[in-house]
Amino acid sequence: MILKLALRSLAVRPIRTAVLACGFGLGIAVMAELLGVGDVILDQARSPALQGGGDLVVSGAFGTIDNAAYVLSVVRGGMGTRAQVVAASPSRRASMYLIKPGMVVPILARGSIPSLEKAVGDKEAAGVPGWTDAPGDARWTTDNPAGVLRSMDRFHRPPDVPEFSSSWAEWLYFNGRTADGRVRFYLTFLVGPAPRPGVRSAGVRLQLDRDGRVSNYAAREEVDEELVLDLAPNLDIGGNQVRLDGLRYHISLHLRSEADSSAVDAQLTLDPDAGRSLPPVVIRGARGWHSGYVVPVLSGRMSGRLTLGRETMSLDGASGYHDHNWGFWRDVRWQWGQVADGDLSLVYGRVFPPADVADSERMPGFLGVLDRQGLVGVATNVSIVEEMAGGSPRMINVTARGNAIDLRLAFSVDRSIRTAFAMTGGANDFLQLGGSYRVQGHAGNRAIDFTARGAAETFRPR
């Protein structure tokens, strides 16, 4: 039918029909050409050469990358890419404006490290002989794992938010477990709010578990705020110390029992396993509220001695872990857990902020998996379900799904330590849990199926 209409139209009005046909053909041709040009422009926009040289551009989900020094160290030395990475260069783009009477001219500016830009083949950098590195660029041009670790573990200046200031706290947390599981400890170096300008309240607390017998030891002192901010993670609180020397943490303890006059002394070291760390992440809510978390040592090797009176316990060969929290903690709850087996380390958690600053149902959980080469994958579609018995969890079931992760963790709790936790300003108890994890599923291209001892933490209403 369409063919007959076309032929009759051509017979009746041949010139008009021919012009119309040519017009349609030209329109289709122009559209095809524009689509082709669009594809080329899109490909060029994604080209590393146009981003400043090199073969690969790494960017964040929303443009800039947080913790760029950590990411750069992973690209250079982790993920099995060291042999393939000849050079890597950080850069940053920003809008600037040239203003003169009657005119404002927007300018897109890009800053980077001259020597590294030349190394990755940026022709613009190569054509400007006078463009050389500044003294401050040295931290980007050399591999410095110790510097990255110290930067991750730094302390933060409390923001000026009077509404929440009384609940500000920041702490270093360590735990360790001997190979036979008979000795475990949970250690916190905490710096709390300021009772007066320039001074912060601080404390050290050790929970020691020996064959199921739990004892608590503590020390308290006020510390100079500026000294903490300048030197942390090096801390001195009530005769107890943390020192970061290169990639090794040294911990010195002299604490008194919370139940009697007995004391515990310790000299411990923690050596991180290479590539086992998670960079800082911050959750933000209304009116300046926020909570931050970083895992400098997801797994490591512990050594040293704990002495209680005439009894000395060796921690040589023990496994260790270290994380770091900061933020406002009034009426905050969280769930957290950690387990390691062979070359794999897993950590998961979820923060529940106060209802008046954020909707806790919309706050995602997370689960991260690392191996010897670094990060295997991260999931934010995470469910953490506690099965209760006698006021404490007896089982915690964790499911995590993402582009590279599909895991199920079943944590059977056999030890529970309950501590009143007044710092949050609410009527909650802090539960430290020990037990056994069964982990099944896959992360990246690895099938995972193992059972191992691990730990968890949670808050429960008192």
pLDDT of residue 26: 61
Residue 440: the pLDDT is 97
pLDDT digits (tens, 9 = 90+) for 4-23: 655 565 566 666 666 666 66
- Look up residue 220 and give its two tokens: 């308290």
Of 291-305, 417-431, 436-450, which range is least confident? Answer: 417-431
Q: How confident is the model at residue 399 (pLDDT cuts 50, 70, 90)?
A: very high
Which DSSP symbol is given to 145? Answer: H
Average the pLDDT over each of 113-122, 181-190, 357-366 and give the range with the smallest value: 113-122
Whether residue 196 has pLDDT greater than 60: yes
pLDDT at 120 over 70: yes
CATH of domain 332-462: 2.40.128
Q: Is the pLDDT of residue 96 over 90?
A: no
pLDDT average, residue stretch 163-191: 92
pLDDT value of residue 327: 94
pLDDT level of residue 391 (50, 70, 90 thresholds): confident
pLDDT of 138 over the 80 cut:
no
Question: Residue 275: how many CA atoms within 13 Å on its side-chain side?
Answer: 20
User: 324 near 296, Cβ under 8 Å?
Assistant: yes
Higher pLDDT, 5 or 135: 135
Q: Which of 54-58, 121-125, 163-167, 296-300 has the lowest mean pLDDT?
A: 54-58
CA separation for the pair 280, 324 (Å, rounded): 9
**Mean pLDDT confidence for 233-252:** 97
The residues, ordered by sequence, that sit 6+ positions from 323 with a Cβ below 8 Å of its Cβ are 173, 293, 294, 295, 296, 297, 347
Instruction: Give yes or no for a contact between 242 and 220, defined as CB atoms under 8 angstroms apart.
Output: no
User: How far is the C-alpha of 105 from the C-alpha of 95, rounded, in Å?
Assistant: 10
Q: What is the overall mean pLDDT for the chain?
A: 83
**pLDDT exceeds cutoff 60 at 453:** yes
Q: How do residues 46-65 score in pLDDT, each as one tens digit? A: 555 545 555 666 665 555 66
Q: Position of tokens 């524009």?
A: 34
Q: Which residue is listed with tokens 């500044």?
A: 134
- Which residue spans of the chain are classified as CATH 2.40.128? 332-462
- pLDDT at position 261 is 84
pLDDT at 190: 94
Mean pLDDT of 177-192: 90
Which range of 47-51, 186-190, 209-213, 386-390 scores highest in mean pLDDT? It is 186-190
- Give the pLDDT confidence score for residue 437 in this predicted structure: 96
Mean pLDDT calculated for residue range 378-396: 91
Rounded-to-integer distance, Cα 175 and Cα 303, Å = 12
Q: What is the pLDDT of residue 153?
A: 96
From-to residues of CATH 2.40.370.10 in the chain: 148-329
Which residue type does 241 have?
Q
Who wins on pLDDT, 170 or 460? 170
pLDDT value for 430: 81
Higher pLDDT, residue 371 or 447 = 447
pLDDT band at 88 (very low <50, low <70, confident <90, very high): confident
Tokens of 399: 């499911």
CATH number of 148-329: 2.40.370.10
| 337 vs 130 pLDDT, higher one | 337
- Residue 111 has a pLDDT of 81
